[in-house]
Structure 1
């Protein structure tokens, strides 16, 4: 097979304890999936889940023990951090039940859904898609994937983010409005999930702006932390 120009290399994420890497197929994100974050964004209750996507090349892949760099993006004066548990799908399927969802999970990682909040809010006011606020270059930092066999009960793990050493976000995965299992069930009813899919599961309360020079450290208990410098 020949191409009119060389294709881009595949996007992949490191896996703890392995030389093989996890090839990325799609990136799904869940909106407003913690109650307190939903409230700070002007919503309440257990609303039906909704999803948006990021391009695979929006990932900023950070190796274990390293500090990644994220360029401060163009067009925004209000870039927000959103710390998230990322689920890596190892076996695809459609209409996966919540009870069977764990058999489709390869592992977990710590991720950031970086958001040009001013652009997102303007698109919301106009009733237009807000890809420009969510799916821009470098908007998805992610750390190494920990295989599920090496994790404990992720559903009760603490999730947190520090900026320059100070707490910004701190909660527990148990406070997800739609659990990981329920999210996979809903998502696989709308799309056929594939091995290589990543699911950013939502962020807790405390989202706020970052600026050039800030150091972000995201954690989910039991997983390799994610460290990013804004440049």
Structure 2
């Protein structure tokens, strides 16, 4: 049935998971920075964070992927050739599809993670922060010992949703020729002329990642709130 394209699909699945994990790490960091800027930053940082989340969430993912992968190198080349020395007239910039995909998806879902973290921080009971301050905790110690652990507990569900949507969004980076699952299914479909078979298999593989992810998210939530359940 697979006509020898099974390994290609599995390789594409591995690439999809790799891109997803790397992009999620980028989104996690950007989310923390964005939430911190919105809640604790000055006017400039709050404005930058607000513009970031509004713009990124308002532009389709595919447009951003194409803009960064194709548009940014062209812009850089044009600027260098226009304002640079004559020796740079043949200057060329090429983005690696993996790096471009990871950075773009990380940038996109960092905006969503920002709102998840901001909501999670606001969900922390003020009494816990006040208790930490009463014990003499300030600055980084307070963040590390009180705010960050509590924030993660409240953010698990939201981050889980970000992860699930991000995994599906990796299908869009097939547009920049990265050999992830969707691209592999396209190649197999084109060569065998059996699009239903290979797109169905791709759909089932995406679904399998989702099912496993949901189970892991549920276990993580149970672990994070086990103390609360015991007291309840």
TM-score range for the pair, normalised by the shorter chain length: under 0.3
Give 1 or 2: higher helix fraction.
Answer: 2
In our comparison, the structure showing a higher alpha carbon Rg is 2
Question: What's the TM-score, normalizing by structure 2?
Answer: 0.20
TM value normalised by structure 1: 0.20
